[in-house]
A = this chain, B = another copy of it.
């Protein structure tokens, strides 16, 4: 298929590299010419920072810009015969109503510029405003992944929220753990086997069943000991987080199993 990429950030970069293997990326557009060229050069195609230079002949236009910028790009684009799809978790399909064939092509993953990702393992969530559009976006997804989900805009929004918890907040807690280890003069690498095992466990059992630690045992001695360390170190913000989530976990399991 002939494809135009609009955007040059993390999602645009990873999608462009993956799609270019089987498809013809006609042009990479970005407001920032340097960024557009940098990405376009990686796959030896054209770059532009002018909406007017975007070819009208593509089969699919993929808008992979920040959520806040999607409206502007949509406004600036002319009517197009091809499919226009965005890649955002929290933007409904209706944001692209202007185009007769439109949809969503949302790769559900955390992308960093510096780290390659094998997209074949990344779920891609598809939505289309008509059957033909859906089918074409599905064909495009098949060319990069074997995990394709038909998900509507409301579901996608909830999925995005779940990702904030399971990825962004999780990574924030990795950061808190790293801060604590630094203060104790211990290397972060000590935590990696635990971090990996915590992630691996929920492949074979539910998080509810995988839980360990002082909160699920309602081990108040240990919890108090931990809170005291945090408070003595002047980390009252961390003590608050620790206390709040410990309470939530203890209550969750009391509720889950009234005999405990």
User: Copy number in this complex?
Assistant: 2
Q: Are B112 and A169 in contact, CB atoms less than 8 angstroms apart?
A: no
Q: A156-175: contact bitstring with B at CB < 8 Å (1 yes, 0 no)?
A: 01111111111111111111
Interface residue from B122, B230, B245 paired with A193 (Cβ < 8 Å)? B122
Chain A residues numbered 118-177 whose CB sits less than 8 Å from any CB in chain B: 121-123, 147, 149, 151, 154-155, 157-177
Q: Are A207 and B242 in contact, CB atoms less than 8 angstroms apart?
A: no
Q: Which residue of B lies closest to A122 (CB)?
A: B193
Which residues on B sit within 8 Å (CB–CB) of A115?
Answer: 201, 204-205
Is chain A's interface secondary structure helix, strand, loop, or mixed overall? helix
- Whether A34 is near chain B, meaning CB under 8 Å from some CB there, is no
Task: Tell me, rounded to whole Å, the shortest Cβ–Cβ distance linking A93 to chain B.
Answer: 15
Q: Are A164 and B109 in contact, CB atoms less than 8 angstroms apart?
A: no
Q: Are A170 and B198 in contact, CB atoms less than 8 angstroms apart?
A: yes
Q: Which residue of B lies closest to A180 (CB)?
A: B162
Q: How large is the interface on A (under 10, 10 to 19, 20 to 34, 35 or more residues)?
A: 35 or more
Q: Are A210 and B164 in contact, CB atoms less than 8 angstroms apart?
A: no
Q: Known contacts being A162-B177, A168-B213, is A157 close to B191, with CB within 8 Å?
A: no
Most B CB contacts (10 A, CB to CB) among A108, A172, A195 go to: A172
Stretch at the interface among A17-25, A46-54, A77-85, A181-189: A181-189
Q: Known contacts being A217-B66, A219-B66, is A158 close to B183, with CB within 8 Å?
A: yes
CA distance A215 to B168 in the complex (A): 8
CA distance A56 to B225 in the complex (A): 33
> Can you sample 10 A-B contacts with CB below 8 Å?
A121-B193, A159-B184, A161-B229, A166-B173, A167-B194, A167-B212, A168-B211, A169-B241, A170-B198, A172-B245
